């Protein structure tokens, strides 16, 4: 079994380095030994894991799937050994976090930067997506997501805060097209609308009685990135709906003006999610504790 696991470790190192030579240098082995280990692993599995040329190696489809399964598991074993060897519950190892693009860059990344400085042995792999990915398939330790999630299968969900969503437009646009007085007036306006996986998103509003509404505004401009929605709106291309963290500064500066404030929704929830079957190592507990501490201070509202 030890040779089997050694072969997996060598495969992961080669895949990450995209080079048998670089992997050999990292592992203190010869290039020939790395190549032979990979060949034995391929024979045992019955598939080719790498495309080989004289200059480089690349993962095959089977190799990429095997790497996705092995890399996270191998890292978890290494992290567990480090935690035990240290004799202390230290934040040691790599945490893989996936988060919404605009919110992640503006709010979460600065927090993680401070955390990395406090814990030099804590490292991050960050990815940005606005749809819910499968953390088990993607090898993700922690997800940050907007919206009510229902009962996410196999995941622990912790609410961090709630962002009010504002309808906004540039003063120049409103001077040119007028200010909408009712929700129905939106039908006569240009709108900059978010898009997710080819579907145009509806806006979350509320009527005069406070009842929640889902409204499909005219999709004049359909944009799959929050920062781009903001840029088009600032340029005077139409009305948008964005969460408070994105429009707070432009509203204060007067470069955006809020409209239909009575119809603005009560806010969209923000959650941290992680696989409930995964042992909560100190590295992940450190990040979750930091998020919850910031949530208690209202940093996500």
Predicted local distance difference test score (pLDDT) of residue 129: 82
* Three-state DSSP class for residue 218: coil
CATH for 2-78 is 1.10.10.10
> Which CATH number does 89-162+269-296 carry?
3.40.190.10
Q: What pTM does this model have?
A: 0.66
- Report how far apart, in Å, the C-alpha atoms of 221 and of each of 3, 8, 195, 258 are: 57, 48, 9, 19
Helix (H, G, I), strand (E, B), or coil: what is residue 13?
Answer: helix
- The pLDDT, as a whole number, for residue 82 is 61
User: What DSSP line would sit under 120-160, residue for residue?
Assistant: TTEEEEEEE-SS---HHHHT-SEEEEES---S-TTEEEEEE
CB of 238 within 8 A of CB of 220? yes
Distance of CA 258 to the CA centre of its chain: 28
Structural domain spans, the chain: 2-78, 89-162+269-296, 165-266
Q: Which superfamily, per CATH, for 165-266?
A: Periplasmic binding protein-like II (3.40.190.10)
CB 275 within 8 A of CB 155: yes
User: Which residues of the chain carry a pLDDT beneath 50?
Assistant: 1, 87
Phi-psi label, residue 142: left if phi above 0, alpha if psi -120 to 50, beta otherwise: beta
Q: Whole-angstrom Cα distance, residue 112 to residue 118? A: 10
Nearest to 146 by CA among 101, 209, 200: 101
Three-state SS at 216: coil
Tens digit of pLDDT for each residue in 71-128?
877 877 766 666 555 545 678 889 999 999 889 999 999 999 999 999 999 999 999 9
**φ, ψ for residue 160 (rounded to 5)?**
-100, -25
What pLDDT score was predicted for residue 298? 86
User: Residues 71-75: contacts with CB within 8 Å, 24+ apart?
Assistant: 71/12, 71/15, 71/16, 71/139, 72/96, 72/139, 74/8, 74/9, 74/12
Tokens of 128: 């940005």
Q: How far apart are CA 206 and CA 267, in angstroms?
A: 11
Q: Work out whether the CA dihedral 217, 177, 205, 296 comes out positive or negative.
A: positive
Question: Which H or E element spans position 31?
Answer: helix 31-45
Instruction: Check residue 88 and give its pLDDT.
Output: 53
Same CATH fold, 89-162+269-296 and 2-78? no
| Segment (H or E) for 228 | helix 226-234
CB 155 within 8 A of CB 109: no
How far, in Å, CA of 154 to CA of 273, rounded? 10
Distances (CA, A) of 281 to 94, 127, 195, 215, 294: 11, 20, 36, 43, 20
Strands (E), the chain: 50-52, 57-59, 93-99, 122-128, 142-146, 155-163, 165-169, 191-196, 199-200, 203-206, 212-215, 221-223, 239-243, 257-258, 268-275
């Amino acid at each position: 079994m030890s040779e089997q696991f050694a072969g997996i470790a060598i495969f992961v190192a080669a895949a990450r380095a995209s080079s048998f030579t670089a992997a050999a240098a990292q592992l203190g082995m010869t290039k020939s030994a790395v190549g032979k280990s990979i060949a034995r692993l391929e024979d045992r599995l019955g598939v080719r894991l790498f495309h080989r040329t004289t200059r480089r190696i690349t993962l095959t489809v089977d190799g990429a799937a095997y790497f996705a399964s092995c890399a996270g598991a191998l890292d978890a074993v290494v992290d567990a050994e480090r935690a035990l060897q240290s004799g202390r519950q230290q934040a040691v190892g790599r945490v893989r976090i996936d988060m919404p693009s605009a919110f992640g860059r503006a709010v979460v990344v600065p927090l993680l930067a401070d955390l990395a400085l406090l814990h030099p042995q804590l490292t991050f792999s960050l990815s940005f997506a606005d749809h819910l990915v499968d953390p088990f398939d993607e090898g993700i330790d922690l997800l940050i997501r907007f919206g009510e999630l229902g009962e996410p299968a196999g995941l622990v969900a912790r609410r961090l805060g709630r962002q009010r969503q504002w309808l906004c437009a540039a003063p120049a646009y409103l001077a040119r097209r007028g200010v909408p007085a009712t929700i129905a007036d939106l039908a006569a306006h240009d709108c900059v609308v978010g898009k997710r996986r080819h579907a145009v998103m509806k806006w979350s509003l509320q009527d005069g009685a406070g009842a929640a509404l889902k409204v499909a505004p005219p999709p004049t401009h359909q944009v799959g990135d929050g920062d781009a929605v903001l840029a088009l709106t600032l340029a005077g291309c139409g009305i948008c709906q964005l969460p408070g963290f994105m429009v707070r500064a432009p509203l204060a500066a007067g470069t955006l003006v809020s409209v239909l404030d009575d119809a603005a929704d009560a806010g969209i929830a923000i959650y941290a999610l992680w696989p409930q079957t995964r042992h909560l190592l100190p590295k992940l507990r450190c990040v979750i504790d930091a998020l919850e501490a910031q949530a208690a201070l209202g940093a996500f509202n």
